[in-house]
Chain A
Amino acid sequence: MEHGYFGGYLLVNYVARPLEFHCTMPVKPSRAQELLYGPTIDDFVCGEQIAKALTMKAKLTPQVVLTDCSAVLALSLVSKLPVAYLATSPDAEKCEQMRIPVSMGHCVKHLDAPEYRVDVPEQSDFTQQEFAELVQGIAPSFDLAEPFQRIVEALYEAHPVTRAA
């Protein structure tokens, strides 16, 4: 956190192969922003700023934007791309549920598919059926949570300073 927020965005195909990668420079909210956005500061920085910048920059249009950071659900406030929160570990899920989704006014709905459960903003057009089709369409060896690890490692490569953080 010392260096602010970093955002990474990896587009993969149905067999988990990487197609496109983007990352942001460090983003650190100002004191005024922290005061004025209050508890929604993460939503603003991660969803409306970082996620928006990354998705706008990508040349390929994704079927869905998955995130392991619930604050990114606020992307739905500023973008038409479907966005869904995927808990990548039981711990992460517990931790995230304590604070999400502030901007959404606690209005999320759950979508279920075999082996996966995601949260989407209540007003999202991304449907249960679309999610089920997505999961059905990916390769059996593709774990949807796995690419997040790649993103973390790529950010460490791109921003060596984060190692010390």
Chain B
Amino acid sequence: MIRNHQTTQPSSDTRSSSTNWAGITFSDRHCLSQGDLESAATVSFQATGWQGNLDRPPAVEINSAEIEQFDVPVIAIRLQSKLPTTVGFQLPEAASQILDAPAPAATPPHKPLPSSPPKSRTGPAGKRTRIRPPEDLVKLEDRLFFVLQPPLESLVASSHMAFPFPPFPYQMDGVAFLFPRETAILADEMGLGKTMQAITSVRMLLRAAQIRNVLFVCPKPLVTNWVREFALWAPEIPVKVIEGDSATRQWIWKQHNSPVRIANYELLMRDKHLLDDPDTHFDLVILDEAQRIKNRNSTTAQITRSLPRSRSWALTGTPIENSIEDLINIFEFLSPGYLRDDMHLKSIREATRDHVLRRTKDKVLADMPPKMYRDEELELTSAQFDSYRVAESDGVVQLTQMGETLTIQHVFELVLRLKQICNFDPPTGASCKLERLEADMEEIAASGRKAIVFSQWVDTLEKIAAPLERFGPMQYHGRIPSKKRDAVIQQFREDPSKHVILMSYGAGSVGLNLQFCEYVFLFDRWWNPAVEDQAINRAHRIGAAGPVTVTRMMAAGTIEQRIHEVLEEKRTLFNELFADSAAPRQMGLRREEIFGLFNLSIPPAKKHVA
């Protein structure tokens, strides 16, 4: 079989034609293009030799059609070219930038998607402490002023502010808290460095020209401490202590260009008339140990409230010593009327949240040496026991017989008498506590360590001094003149033969740094756990040499043990107030509790004031 291939060829003839052969019809009525024909019209057939016409190409007819013309509608979409609306402002520092004309580095237009934390130039360990605007700051521009400030560490570095020791991160947080606030309470636990945080904040505000004159008010024994701390943490700031005779003090009060002045509470009362000068105004007043104004009607509280000022800060380790009123009264200085007596505790806690910063050592100082409590329940000597039993039974009988004339003062008097017997037997001078203290001191002195002994009575301290003579006892209390006290502390610190210092709660519980002591003895107990904590924290504070052992002495089965139970309850309540959960309860030592120390009931006539 032979297979021929024939390719159709287009014809020049445009007439229509069709060819039919062997059952196949070729029609040229289709308009085929050259390409179509070449590719599609390939015909295979069987040549038989008698169909010559097969060699003739098929005729292809092409028809043309007119295309209908129409208008295509065009829709124009205008693309917005108007630039977005912006808002903005210049910060105060921009003025100097324009004058000095160094080209600033600029940061970016930005799409505010939640961003990952940027890498730290100082590595992951480099903490960045940001200054946050206080919640009560309303104006957006004022809020942005703080939001846009660089981290505190950067501000400090660029200001060439040197520190004698690197601040702890929580201390930088404290500075960031104080810096933007007009009203603030720094209520850190004792020993966390409130002094340093306040001084650094003042230093930064002075450098930022946000304040020009500051008044510090503190208890008199602490004035020299503040001067020393300023010399340490802000040596470039001149500090004036308001002291001397009346004329000198008047002259210092009128030095309105002094950046920092320090006054004590007692002096403030004496110079009240000088503060009435209409030219007197402080950009910032800081009250140290602000619990001093917890009594709203006290002269001290009234005078501090009358100080003309723009900013008010309070420093205290114990914003609440007895009841929530203590805190309300401190706020009367900060922002009169902000807290009311009839407010619920929950409302107070919410209202003060942004104004009070309180941290405790166990939260912020992971590497702080531990503080160990040792409650020594000591049996009274037989002489003490006899005296105690007589005094208590006679006293209770007397109180019971007083009937409706019984007052809380009468109860206090009996408590004090019994506590004194627990320290020393009046006729014989016997003391179970002293025996124990001597034994402990032997061990402490042998190991070259130092101890602090606290008592509420100077007489007790003086009685202790003689038997402890071999341990080189130093004394620091109300009978030691203020001018000699610094020398006492210095000698105790530096003289290795001085192993113990005897302190009264009143003189030695605040502002002293005795972190080189590893032992604290509470020879008798104070009414308020906050004061005890302050005393203990003279030793247990930043820089503590090692674990601090606190020995709380109490005579077993006596009034001291009952007071201890009450104090523990108060301590628990205080902690509850500053916890995030559990609504706090009444903090004060209730009248019922005081009478209850002797199982006495409150006279009916007194109940209405309870």
Residue positions of A touching B, CB distance < 8 A? 5-25, 27, 30, 32-33, 36, 42, 46-47, 49-69, 71-72, 75, 86, 88-92, 115, 134, 137-158, 162
Contact = CB atoms under 8 A, between A and B. Distances in A.
Given A15-B158, A21-B88, A143-B121, A51 B109 contact: yes
Contacts of A88: 115-116, 118-119
A84 B269 CA distance: 63
A69 B110 contact: yes
B349 interface: no
Contacts of A27: 84
A18 B111 CA distance: 19
B115 A148 contact: yes
Nearest 9 A-B pairs (CB), nearest first?
A: A62-B106, A22-B88, A15-B158, A143-B121, A67-B108, A51-B109, A141-B157, A145-B118, A53-B83
B108 A24 contact: no
9 contacts: A9-B106, A19-B104, A25-B87, A51-B109, A63-B105, A65-B108, A69-B109, A92-B115, A157-B140
Nearest to B148: A18
B137 to A, nearest CB: 10
Given A92-B115, A154-B148, A18 B158 contact: no
A149 B121 CA distance: 14
B354 to A, nearest CB: 16
A49 B91 contact: no
Contact of A146 (B104, B106, B116, B128): B128
Contact of A59 (B90, B102, B110, B155): B90
A160 B304 CA distance: 39
Interface residue tally on B, bucketed by range: 35 or more
B90 A141 contact: no
Nearest to A92: B116
Given A146-B151, A154-B147, A67 B80 contact: no
Given A12-B107, A18-B93, A68-B108, A157 B144 contact: yes
Given A19-B93, A24-B86, A32-B77, A6 B111 contact: yes
A62 B121 CA distance: 22
A138 B103 contact: no
A32 B148 contact: no
B122 interface: yes
B128 to A, nearest CB: 7
B143 interface: yes
Nearest to A151: B110
